[in-house]
Structure 1
Amino acid sequence: MDIKKLVACDTVLGEGPLWDIPEQRLYWIDSLGNKIFRATEDGNEVKVWDVPQNIGAMALRDKGGALLSLADGFYTFDFETGEATVLEKVQHKSATVRLNDGKVDKHGRYVCGSLETTETKPDALLYSVGTDLSVRQIDDNITVSNGPCWSPDGSIFYFADSRAKMIYAYDYDLETGAVSNKRDFHAFGPEDGLPDGATVDAEGCVWSAGVYKGKIHRIAPDGARLLTIDMPTLCVASVMFGGANLDRLYVPTMRTPPVPDVDETHPDAGSLFVIDGLGIRGVPENRFGG
């Protein structure tokens, strides 16, 4: 296994890695720096776009451009013009809530949660954006939404509330996008970090970034911990398999933690890292169908 810095992008809060197979490009974001990045598999040809608000996540669209989770709602984005256009603003429970992490299911829906930025109140919600561009709430009572992803067959939806230190599993109806039977899937201990961004590999295992402790965890479908990787920086925010063979694990990091009790001092904090030699492949990410 080889861990190396790939792009010295100096993100305030690097998040949301997305490997797009048609383009053979990696996208990632700076949530608090209000930027979208794109690069080749090896970290070359880096391009950067500014967005008008804090950005929680993005999904590429079948029709071109992207769907963005900005602080106050869902927006479409044109990479040619750099213009973000509001699709629907959401009614947050309080002024300290913004949209956060999101991904696309096998039928092209976008599922995204919000977060309460003081990380103290369960005021965040979980939303589903349909291919007809309708937005509906599918869960509530969340503090910090993170790590949405699905089992390879799409029947199980995984989702973390970082401050609860828990990854949950739901039964997922691919026909309707409904979630049910929410249950505890994997709890994080004191040295594991908080569950942040996540992905699923081809064997159905969940990979979750243990933010603030510099960990990446691989968790079996039955909830058992299989592997923990120690990263160079404390603030590892998310993970995504990519590259031509979907066997490289990309890891964006934070330069400035958004919490007062973490002191990130590593000189490469904020860089994009890649892990090679795992011998494991990911699954293709879907594009938003709306």
Structure 2
Amino acid sequence: MMVRVETLPVPACDLGEGPLWDVDEQRLYWIDSHGATIYRADAQGKDLQSWCVPEHIGSLCLRKAGGAIVSLRNGFHEFDFASGRATPIADPESGIRRTRLNDGKVDRQGRFLAGYMDYEEREGLGGLYRLNSDRSVTQLEDGIAVSNGPCWSPDGGTFYFADSMQRRIWSYKYDTATGDLLSRRVFADFALHLRGYPDGATVDADGFVWSVEVYGGRLVRFAPDGTIDRLIGMPVDSITSVMFGGADLDILYVTSMARPFLGSRRLEREAGAVFAVTGLGVRGIPETRFVG
């Protein structure tokens, strides 16, 4: 089977992020973080809809009861698609002006985990937080410069998480009953084997971790032991995140950013596009909705 990379017919994003495939709606969601916009389309990028949010947005998840939870610059919010209204829930780092909530996902039990990032991408000012079903917030980590790539093993017992500026993905033993992190080890060190930085990530049905190599322009598939299994080149260096979707969960959707950055080795004509990668021979896992 031959791998194909196609560009979806959707608007380019300044900072595309957070692709999310919902199996119930059979729709793809993604965001423009700096454009403060949520997008939704079908598997081919058609039937496009969009919503504006009041602040920079780092990620979103859908709620089991309808609507979404969004991580904005000023914390967790509930978002209503019908009215376009974002209602604040909590801002655990309200006193730190240089951070905003960034990447986040829902665990297998329906809790939403999202971490903060330093706008200057320099210092470990932010933390990783869990939004519980009762809307309370629990801090799980601190000292994070740029939170990215949260995802879980198929059984939910292993949690993967990256600080892009440290160029590492960690794996944690995850308590599925409480949502607590029990231990941490280095899962993949990009500084040793790769030229870019870890950004968004997802796990396939075989338990392999797919991470984008932002500024390196490749998709990296890691085996459960952290060894590199596959490398797939992309049309742009500025890829940002990944998610399996489509009717059979066998399309890997990849977001990218159009904002300029130093070190690019090629002209980024398609920077900011959303790509659909097919022919990989693997499938993803349905994403859970937030239960609160």
TM class, shorter-chain normalised? Answer: over 0.9
String of CA shifts for 1:58-91, please: whole Å, max 9, x gaps: 0000110000000011000010111111111222
Alpha-carbon distance, 1:263 to partner:
7.5
Q: 1:92·1:98 contact (CA, 8 Å) conserved in 2?
A: no
Alpha-carbon distance, 1:8 to partner:
3.5
Q: 1:175 aligns with which of 174, 177, 195?
A: 177
In structure 1, the partner of 2:256 is: 253
Q: 1:126·1:139 contact (CA, 8 Å) conserved in 2?
A: yes
Q: 3-state SS of the aligned residue for 1:8?
A: coil
TM-score (norm 2): 0.96
Q: After TM superposition, list the pairs within 5 Å mapping 1:1-290 onto structure 2.
A: 1-92=3-94, 94-189=96-191, 191-257=194-260, 259-262=261-264, 265-290=267-292
Distance in structure 2 (CA, Å) of the matches to 1:70 and 1:56 = 6
String of CA shifts for 1:131-183, please: whole Å, max 9, x gaps: 11111101111111000000000000000000100000001001100002111
The structure-2 alpha-carbon separation of the partners of 1:191 and 1:174, relative to structure 1 and needing over 3 Å to count, comes to: closer
Distance in structure 2 (CA, Å) of the matches to 1:269 and 1:22 = 30
Q: 3-state SS of the aligned residue for 1:238?
A: strand
Distance in structure 2 (CA, Å) of the matches to 1:275 and 1:90 = 37
Q: 2:10·2:45 contact (CA, 8 Å) conserved in 1?
A: no
Q: Which moved more, 1:83-92 or 1:163-172?
A: 83-92
String of CA shifts for 1:179-236, please: whole Å, max 9, x gaps: 0211100011374311000000000000001101111100000001000111001100
Q: 1:237·1:252 contact (CA, 8 Å) conserved in 2?
A: yes
Q: 1:93·1:124 contact (CA, 8 Å) conserved in 2?
A: no
Aligned residues: 289
Distance in structure 2 (CA, Å) of the matches to 1:218 and 1:93 = 38
Q: 1:255·1:264 contact (CA, 8 Å) conserved in 2?
A: no
Residue segments in structure 2 that go unaligned for 5+ positions in a row: none
String of CA shifts for 1:13-64, please: whole Å, max 9, x gaps: 0000000000000000001110000000111101111010000000000110
TM-score (norm 1): 0.97
Q: 3-state SS of the aligned residue for 2:8?
A: strand
Q: 1:115·1:123 contact (CA, 8 Å) conserved in 2?
A: yes
Q: 3-state SS of the aligned residue for 1:170?
A: strand
String of CA shifts for 1:237-276, please: whole Å, max 9, x gaps: 000000000000000110104x555577322111110001
Distance in structure 2 (CA, Å) of the matches to 1:172 and 1:94 = 28
The structure-2 alpha-carbon separation of the partners of 1:265 and 1:93, relative to structure 1 and needing over 3 Å to count, comes to: farther
Supply the AA of the counterpart residue of 1:284. P
* Structural RMSD (CA): 1.3
Q: 3-state SS of the aligned residue for 1:163?
A: helix
Q: 2:67·2:78 contact (CA, 8 Å) conserved in 1?
A: yes
Alpha-carbon distance, 1:98 to partner:
0.6
Alpha-carbon distance, 1:92 to partner:
4.6
Distance in structure 2 (CA, Å) of the matches to 1:244 and 1:60 = 18
Supply the AA of the counterpart residue of 1:32. H
Distance in structure 2 (CA, Å) of the matches to 1:84 and 1:219 = 36
Distance in structure 1 (CA, Å) of the matches to 2:151 and 2:266 = 27
